[in-house]
Structures are given as C-alpha cells and as structure tokens.
C-alpha cells in the first residue's frame, strides 16, 4: 500500500445496513440468499468493505424510471434459477 492510499474501511452488519439505509435483518437475508454485497468473515465476524457496499448499491443505478440499467439489485428473497422458468 502506498503512503497516499487510505486503507480499506470495514463495517459490521449494523453499520453496513445503516450505510445502505437497510435494516440489519434485510442485509442478513441478502447474505443468506446470495443477493447482497460481498462480505468477509474474520474470526467468525461478518464485515463489509465500504467499496463493496458502494459497488453493490451502484448496480441499481438508474437515470430514469424507463432506464433498464445494466444490472439489478435483487430483493432479499430466494432467487429462482433460470432453469426453473
């Protein structure tokens, strides 16, 4: 890491949920269903890098209601496999 680089900032689940304006339970559900942001387990604790939270939230970025976007942020529920459709 260079002298000018800021080290990555990590947040706990409650802190990450506040950062995303979600409830902690919703973030836990996203983790369970694999629809949420990337996380790390360190010593049995779940932590999120701020840059990963921002990247996940940016997947839902749109410029208007008619903008289909390039990606999607799924709801916190089990996702159907494309083979099931």
Q: In the chain, which stretches have pLDDT less than 70?
A: 1-3, 7, 69-70, 74, 81-85
Q: Spell out a b/e string for 39-62, using b for 16 or more CB atoms within 10 Å of the CB, else e.
A: beeeeeebbbbeebbeebeeeeee
Residue 1 lies in a domain: no
Residue 81's pLDDT is 63
Residue 51 lies in a domain: yes
Residue 79's pLDDT is 72
Residue 4 lies in a domain: no
Distance CA 29, CA 34 (A): 8
Residue 82 lies in a domain: no
List the domain range (segments joined by +) for residue 26: 10-77
Count of structural domains, the chain: 1
Residue 42 lies in a domain: yes
Residue 84 lies in a domain: no
Residue 69's pLDDT is 67
pLDDT digits (tens, 9 = 90+) for 19-43: 999 999 999 999 999 999 999 999 9
């Amino acid at each position: 890491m260079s002298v000018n680089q800021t080290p990555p900032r990590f947040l706990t689940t409650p802190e990450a949920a506040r950062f995303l304006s979600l409830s902690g339970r919703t973030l836990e559900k996203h983790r369970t269903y694999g629809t949420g942001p990337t996380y790390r387990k360190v010593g049995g604790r779940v932590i999120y890098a701020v840059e990963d939270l921002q990247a996940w939230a940016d997947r839902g970025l749109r410029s208007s209601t008619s903008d289909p976007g390039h990606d999607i942020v799924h709801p916190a529920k089990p996702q159907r496999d494309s083979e099931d459709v």
